[in-house]
Structure 1
Amino acid sequence: MSSLSKEYLVQLANQFGTPLYVYHAEKIKEQYNKLNSAFKDVNARFFYACKALSNINVLKYVESIGASLDCVSINEVKLGLKAGFTPDRILFTPNCVDFEEVVEGKELGVHLNIDNISILEKFGTRFGNSYPICIRFNPHIMGGGNYKISTGHIDSKFGISIHQMRHIERVVKSTKLNVRGIHMHTGSDIKDVNVFLQGLEIMFELATHFPELEFIDLGSGFKVPYQEGDVQTDINLLGKKVAEAFHAYENETGKKIQVWFEPGKFLVSESGYFVVKANVIKQTTATVFVGVNSGFNHLIRPMFYDAYHRIENITNPNGHERIYTVVGNICETDTFAWDRALNEVREGDFLVFYNAGAYGFEMSSNFNSRLKPAEVMVKDGEAILIRKRDVFEDLMKNQIEVL
């Protein structure tokens, strides 16, 4: 399996400074190959959900290994085109956007996935059957490991309820919409393959309403392991079950349709490493804190989702184990890990956060007027700087001094 050694990460930290995001290209390719192998018996396409990590170099690499691209904003679409994806390899699934953003996606020639009846009506009224679309449904399935990232339950803002099928039929019929795909996505960190199969059963039922259907998109949410003993999605079992279901559907209906998936975290999470430096060791009456030169402005997942990231001291890997609480330098409660066993940490040591490729840099900010970190890609054994570290002038770049 592709991974970067502790010694190499120390070398990169010394070379590029910290905090530092590092992405291992070959690990992304390894994950993509796992998908192709798992779903080899069904006509499947994989659209990388670039909201996970959208650095233009990552997009170019993903394009080079053959994946397509899933976008949720018009600027992600433009980034994808700039990275070399042709419009037929881009799926655009906006949510709660102005209608003109949908129109702009249409003008760029990408696949459109619409999740609101009012947008369907507007699109059908203006364009009729002249441009193919996909409809995003809410299957009312509770999936995923955290309510904040579950998107298919009854209270979710995403998708059109499956119970509004009659309304959709009226819109499609009256405006002559050209529906070529149907879509669902229940959330992230789905451990049980039956969640996908339950959704697929619903999608097959909906498919009977759309005679020109070409694909069913099952979203993603494949669980990746963040700590030892973590259960992950059994994609080989899922691939086998999905292939069986699609072959049965084809035998029953005589229709050959594709299955689409939108892996984001699955492709890039394990490729990413976030390296920080221990600024201070602070002992209180109850706790020993390691205060690092970063914070939730760089990696918000632990504070936002209560997410777990494995942390190691890569400068002193053989030191005696002690219990620490790892915190950041932001002027808010800013905790990466409570009561974590780490090899003894000294001021100046480098710590690495694993599984930092997805929703790490992508969700970073300049909160507290702190600077965003650099990003490096390691490809074919070579470390390449793919984003410069912020400097003070970057904080002022779009501000207008008028007083």
Structure 2
Amino acid sequence: MSKKINIFWFRRDLRLDDNLGFFEALKAEHPVLPIFIFDTKILDQLPKDDARVTFIHETLQHLRQTLQDEHKSSIALYKGEPIEIYKQLVQDYDIETVFTNHDYEPYATERDTEIKTLLGDNNIEFKTYKDQVIFEKSEIVKKDGKPYMVYTPYMRKWKEKFRTIDLEIFYTNSYLSNLIEHSRLPNLTLSDIGFEKSNQDVLDYDVTPTLIQTYEATRNFPAQDSTSRLGPHLRFGTVSIRKMVKKAIAEENEIFWQELIWREFFTQILWHFPHTKNEAFKPKYDRIEWRYNETEFKAWCKGETGYPLVDAGMRELNATGFMHNRIRMLVGSFLCKHLLMDWRLGEAYFAEKLHDYDMASNVGNWQWVAGSGVDASPYFRIFNPTTQIDKFDKNHEYIKQWVPDYQELTYPKPIVEHKAARERCLKTYKAALN
């Protein structure tokens, strides 16, 4: 074995600058070996042309190239179960400390506990840092120490606490000389991982002053496509949440800022209540007698429900891996309320398709439309998928883009009648909840 090193483990933080765990690793005494593990427990559940895997792989190749060209270093890429990779790393290197950033999902916390134990058994420290949120875990709680379960008071407390801190940006440039000097660290191709290049692209984000300033006026109209597309970049950490919050504040846009706070609200809910990934936050909602009709579910998935705005959203999702936020609420409500199907079916479908899939936000929003979650939409709030067109796509621009056949004879008839579906939903929910 050679001299002691530290490891920095990249995960949901695929950037070199303003990365707190990476910053702390670089400031420490020993040279830093950066690594990334393609976790087979996660990969095995994904389609082989998953756009997110392509995006992660391409991002890592870019980071590797930057480190090779500018710092005679690189990132070591591995594939396997993290615990097995670490068993090997412990044998291959004399490791002082493993640095990484917090991850709050239930699987991640179990994985990290297991790895911390393994490292501890080998007298190796495991240090983790808060990086993907401004406030985490129990940093924003009520006076009695209990978590907030309604967004608005959480958001107010979040802003109140935010005004008391000095939001620091962690510039790593002056510390990159502490990387391990080794530009030929193990690499993996997409095919080495068992994947192929996706034909979908994860699009760049847009946080120009113009977008932020007009966000409130334009964000509800899908044809205008004026959302920031920040989702996947926050999910995989190709941007810093600290820099994004500073941008929102600089442009003095409360609504854009509050969307970033929603993300943190759902993250702390999942951390406090990990069972909500597959159980209703309000237990009585698990008494609802969901129905399952395979033909109807497939029609919903394909965007063939006979309701043009619903179909436009699902076709956009299938074609691009993205769906406009306003339309996500509509298609979610349609599945749970009109078709009376379990929100978990929709959550799983979105998990497979969305480039910006984040468990906390996805579960939180699906439980919101089903009525079963924190701060949820009341169960009797049932979007009318036809009148929603008048509100948000009155010129049918979005519909024409994604459902060009909506006025053709070949376009499917509605798979359910709105009034009858609404009555069935109300009756079923009442029976379960009363």
TM-score band (shorter)?
Answer: under 0.3
Q: TM-score, normalised by structure 2?
A: 0.25
More helix by share: 2
Q: TM-score, normalised by structure 1?
A: 0.26
More strand by share: 1
